[in-house]
Amino acid sequence: MNRKQIIEQIKSKRSFLCVGLDTDLSKIPAHLLDTEDPIFEFNKAIIDATKDYCVAYKPNNAFYECYGVKGWESLQKTIEYIPENCFIIADAKRGDIGNTSNYYAKTFFETMNCDAVTVAPYMGEDSVKPFLQFENKWVIVLALTSNAGALDFQFTTDTKGEELYKKVLRKTAQWGTPDNMMYVVGATRAEGIGEVRKIVPDHFFLVPGVGAQGGSLEDVANYGWNQDCGLLVNSSRGIIYASNGTDFAEKAGIEAKKIQEEMAKILDQKGF
């Protein structure tokens, strides 16, 4: 999916919501555990219930890999099930030397047929560039993350007064373009979103941390908005675990719709 198509989806669905599929066997409704592939059954119902309210899905690989081969099967089936008009993000946080990153890019863009993959920047240019060689595919670079540990290294200020996350933005923006690169910017650091927006005015941001992690949608929109909306705001637990009863999908749909309606208001206010 290319940039133009993402923007069209945001406009037509009146939503910039990404639903995080962090599907955990210990949290899904008990009645699904007897099915052949409980993770896929859960995801299928969640996707059916939320697909009209979101423009993207983001399965986090860790939750699938921890079940080994069986987990990758569930992941692959889930990705195949996601409707064509939804952007698919593999939240995998990969990154290795060039030759190896090339295989990760093939994994997520060819084998798994995702639209985007999250990538950690620590290993520098040759670890990121192989992901940029695929048409209409996206690399989403970790810039400013939503967790407490972000403070350990991302705010380290260099001798020129530049914080590491800003250097990551400035340098990586030279490797890709706003048509094949996005950034992870945590909603828990609202003012940071504004700082990021100054450095990369045109890029889309993937914003985790709204909901369970405590970030505010309004702040995200205030600080992160650009002429193309420029935001994919993720919610995982707040939607997919809204209920752990037989009504889990219905309740997930209700939560997704609530966020979509808030987003529609923002889009209206912005005249988008």
42 near a second copy (CB under 8 A): no
Residue 86: closest CA among 119, 47, 123: 47
27 near a second copy (CB under 8 A): no
Exposed e or buried b per residue across 140-175, where buried means at least 16 C-beta atoms within 10 angstroms of its C-beta: bbbbbbbeeebeeebeeeeeeeebbbbbbbeebbeb
Minimum CB distance to a second copy, residue 201 (Å): 22
Our CB check for a second copy shows the closer of 123 and 264 to be 123
* Helix (H) or strand (E) run with residue 139 in it: strand 138-144
37 near a second copy (CB under 8 A): no
CA distance 242 to 240: 6
Site for a second copy in 88-147 (CB under 8 A): 91, 93-98, 100-101, 103-104, 106-107, 110-112, 120-128, 142, 145-147
36 near a second copy (CB under 8 A): no
Answer whether 237's CB lies under 8 Å from 31's CB.
Answer: no
Neighbour-count burial of 27, counting CB atoms closer than 10 A to its CB (0-12 exposed, 13-18 middle, 19+ buried): middle
17 near a second copy (CB under 8 A): no
22 near a second copy (CB under 8 A): yes
226 near a second copy (CB under 8 A): no
Which pair of structure tokens corresponds to residue 151?
A: 């403070």
DSSP code, position 107: I
Site for a second copy in 164-193 (CB under 8 A): 164, 167-168, 171
77 is catalytic: no
Among the listed residues 93, 167, 171, 251, the single catalytic one is: 93
Catalytic residues: 93
Binding residues for a second copy, per CB under 8 A?
22, 24, 60, 62-63, 65-69, 72-73, 76, 91, 93-98, 100-101, 103-104, 106-107, 110-112, 120-128, 142, 145-154, 156-159, 164, 167-168, 171
